[in-house]
Amino acid sequence: MTAQDISSQKELDQQCINTIRTLAMDAVQQANSGHPGTPMAMAPVIYCLWQRFLRFDPEDPIWPNRDRFVLSMGHASTLLYAMLHLCRVKAVNPAYEVLGRQSVELDDIKNFRQLDSKCPGHPEYRWTSGIETTTGPLGQGLATSVGMAIAGRWMGSYFNRPDFDLFNYNVYAISGDGCMMEGVSGEAASLAAHLKLSNLCWIYDNNRITIEGNTSLTFTEDVAVRFIGYGWNVTRVGDANDLEMLERAFETFRNTADRPTLIIVDSHIAYGAPSKQDTSAAHGEPLGEEEIRKTKKNYGWPEDEKFLVPDSVYEHFKEQIGRRGQELNKAWKSKFEDYQNAHPDLANHASSMQRRELPEGWDEDLAPFPADPKGVAGRAASGQVLNAIAGKVPWLIGGAADLAPSTKTRLTFEEAGDFSAENPGGRNFHFGVREHAMSSILNGMSVSKVRPYGAGFLIFSDYARPAIRLSALMEIPVIYVFTHDSIGVGEDGPTHQPVEHLVSLRAIPGLITMRPADANEVVEAWRVIMQLKHEPVALILTRQALPTLDRTKYESAAGVARGAYVLADSEGGNPDVLLMATGSEVALCIDAYEQLKTEGIRARVVSMPSWELFDQQSQEYRDSVLPPSVMARVGVEQAATLGWHRYTGIDGHIVGMKTFGASAPLKELQKKYGFTPDQVVAAAKAQVERNR
């Protein structure tokens, strides 16, 4: 290139960067809400990454081997919306069809943070095409990106064959000081280094500003030394505006094969007027019209133009990321056609996985458990079912937060293996004592289209809750297996006995909770779970053994699919009282039912493993299970009573936990807190008498 060509190129680069900046300024100002500072400061970084490195096809934003980009500092969302618009990324519908229209039109940016805009305040997965994950809570994007990198490694190991390198994508995540402060990022960074995820690159915007002011108020650690201690490759760019240094840093990442990379980028937010050099104010609020005019003048931009995008900017993005992405995508699809001929079964698996479909015969190894009064623990039954399914669904992978032996979530068949840096094809994951990061990582794995599960004790769902909430918000089918589900933990005491956790999980919109009553309900719960495409599930299981009910005497467990069903009924089906329960307390209600029957009281036992699924049924079905005419009702659950009145009615009786538990053997705890057949019988009789 001649000196003139280089000069023209630099001018065009700067024009593109300033377009990103001014779109961000104008959007925040028009909304009178948002964060303009970070998008302005980091515009050169995202420009360099997308234009020169990112393997992404704007015409096909769900191409399976695309590089993933995560904006972990989601408050800087205008940075991403500007890129989606300038690259003319196409919209994709829920059927995975690429549409003719753009994902983000200029009018969407003009409607930033407004109702139904494709540019909400923080990036939302499934709402705007080109957004790889929902980010908002700081640190979540970083932890989720680890899951994306893990999924990429696993898919590469499972699908790639000689001459067919189908999955080798990289994952980039931009973060800020807040992300680095949040503990979940540290958990995830530690695991990423242990697994040597060299396909993972984090970019840290070291601008030393948070909402309250300079980070020196709270954050004085040496981030570089911290990450070197984890085992990351760390490089630094001293000026966010230096495209050559940025390019060198990204090349360093691409040439590092044995560890993840952290690029620390020093930036500062400078505006047109000296008064704005104190950046804390503008970090989280609009600049104001006068300040925007001065800033645009400083950029050499038309001061009175709003939402200006020169045609040359569109063309420049089309010529670089557009052309590169299209060529890479076309070559990949051509290779995949050859792959289908050479490895048809694997190709079919890849296609099914991408569409969240199940292989034919996935449930053919599921068998009913025989009736057994001694029974089997919910966790043990689940472990058997999980292994039966995983043998048929190769991309069902997961592990536990250091609790696989206790949660029975280890895949035990010979070829399963352990996922590690040396064995990226292993299907058993060791997340360590990191419940929060584990759950965020599961989200990243799920949006990459493998089917992940993660396990722990129900009490520790508190540590996982922020990521579980995001699973539901993103509508992705992550499987959370929680065992040790009640005061049944016994001697471990109240710190390990979940009380409020069931109702807490039930409060999350879109999350399905399932608490099966015996081994056969566990089978049916897994049958439901595997067929879900957009709903995460919390599967709640016991540590202690549960009687396996005789299904020739009581109703089939297939009713689990409808959330609740009549398990045992009075002769003729006209009960005096309804006994409702979930999990281990269903057997308690069966005992009470049999006792009431001998005393001439007509009872109906309703097993309610999933309130959410039951509430989705028709009114006719719900009334057939819980007849409105039967007002005598008893709910039984070893958990907080909140929420039960929707089924028992305001005058119904609830046998539940109103305090924390205690450290004692299970039988003593059941007696202390009223979980005995006699207590349920007494409550039922009182209800019948009250409603005569």
The catalytic residues are: 435
C-alpha torsion angle, residues 81, 82, 86, 87 (rounded to 10): -50
Q: Find all residues with CB under 8 Å of 229, minimum gap 6, and list them.
A: none
> Measuring CA to CA, which residue among 69, 71, 112, 82 is closest to residue 17?
82
Q: Find all residues with CB under 8 Å of 448, minimum gap 6, and list them.
A: 68, 147, 148, 151, 152, 155
Task: Please give the Cα distance from 93 to 256 (Å, whole number).
Answer: 36
Q: 681 is written with which tokens?
A: 């019988």
Check: CB of residue 437 under 8 Å from CB of residue 462: no
Check: CB of residue 102 under 8 Å from CB of residue 314: no
Task: Please give the Cα distance from 334 to 320 (Å, whole number).
Answer: 21
Query: Can you give the length of the chain in residues?
Result: 692
Task: Give the phi and the psi of residue 122 in degrees, each rounded to 5.
Answer: -130, 150
Strands 209-210 and 213-214: antiparallel
Check: CB of residue 546 under 8 Å from CB of residue 518: yes
> What is the three-state SS of 506-546?
HCCCCCEEECCCCHHHHHHHHHHHHCCCCCCEEEECCCCEE
Check: CB of residue 570 under 8 Å from CB of residue 626: no
Please list, residue by residue across 459-495, b when 16 or more beta carbons sit within 10 angstroms of its beta carbon and e when fewer do: bbbebbbbbbbbbbbbbbbbbbbbbbbbbbbbebeee
HSE, CB side, 13 Å, CA atoms: give it for residue 368. Answer: 11
HSE, CB side, 13 Å, CA atoms: give it for residue 562. Answer: 19
C-alpha distances out from residue 43 to 17, 19, 20, 239, Å: 6, 9, 6, 12
CB atoms within 10 A of CB 677: 17
Q: 515 is written with which tokens?
A: 């608490």
